[in-house]
Amino acid sequence: MAYPPAARSSPPRQPSVKVILASADVQRVVDRIAHQILEKTQGAANTVLLGIPTRGTPLARRLADRISTFEDVVVPVGVLDITLYRDDLRRHATRAVGPTELPSGGIDGKRVILVDDVLFSGRTVRAALDALNDVGRPASVQLAVLVDRGHRELPIRADYVGKNIPTSLAESVKVTLAETDGVDEVKLYGGANS
């Protein structure tokens, strides 16, 4: 935790935890993004949802599920593993490679919507764009995220944002989902004066 040196003299504060989205909120947000996708893509024809592991994968499945509930269209869902395209591979111990599963129809000529949980520096999305480039040639690429916490380091923006959370760099945002963690929640940890 990067406290400024002056703060070290006083006893360290308990790191604060704030629930930004509770379970029901997460579901509402997913519903809204599904509606927005339908609206912006005029019915989600010729569209593919690709989740970025770990939590983008269940989010993409949920969005497809909601879209089919609202409008009775089936949007193919896939998984795009970006491990081998990361720009920080060499700064960490070797990362395990996960599966990339493209829908049977492929992605060539489709509108691909990348789905991730948190948009932060933008580096994950950059890696995903590179990975996408190697597996096919989509007609266009859009980005849907559950949370945008700011602090971009690359010129990347999301087309669909569940919730904008203004944060400081000392804070961290943690998304948990029922499929991967047992409960739907978005929490904000730490921070100087919260």
Partner 1 sequence: MIKHLLSGGDLDADTATEILDTAAEMATVAGREIKKLPALRGRTVVNLFYEDSTRTRISFEAAAKRLSADVINFSAKGSSVTKGESLKDTALTLQAMGADAVVVRHPASGAPHRLANWVDGSVVNAGDGTHEHPTQALLDAYTMRARLGRLAGLSVAVVGDVLHSRVARSNVLLLSTLGAKVTLVGPPTLIPVDIAGALAPGTDVSYDLDSVLPNVDVVMMLRVQRERMNDSYFPSAREYARRYGLDGPRMRRLPEHAIVMHPGPMNRGMEITPEVADSPRSTIVEQVTNGVSVRMAVLYLLLGGNNR
| Contacting positions for partner 1 (CB under 8 A) | 81, 83-85, 89-100, 130, 133-136
Q: What is the bridge-based pairing of β-strands 111-119 and 140-148?
A: parallel
Nearer to partner 1, 122 or 150 (CB): 122
**Min separation Cβ 107 and partner 1, Å:** 12
**Residue among 85 and 160 whose Cβ is closer to partner 1:** 85
Cβ 132 to partner 1, closest distance in Å? 11
Instruction: For the CB of residue 36, give the shortest distance to partner 1 in the complex, in Å.
Output: 32
Closest separation between CB of residue 52 and partner 1, Å?
15
Closer to partner 1 by Cβ: residue 62 or 86: 86
Closest to partner 1 by CB, 130 or 159: 130
5 or 99: whose CB is closer to partner 1? 99
Min dist. Cβ of residue 134 to partner 1 (A): 5
Task: Tell me the two tokens of residue 28.
Answer: 């509402």
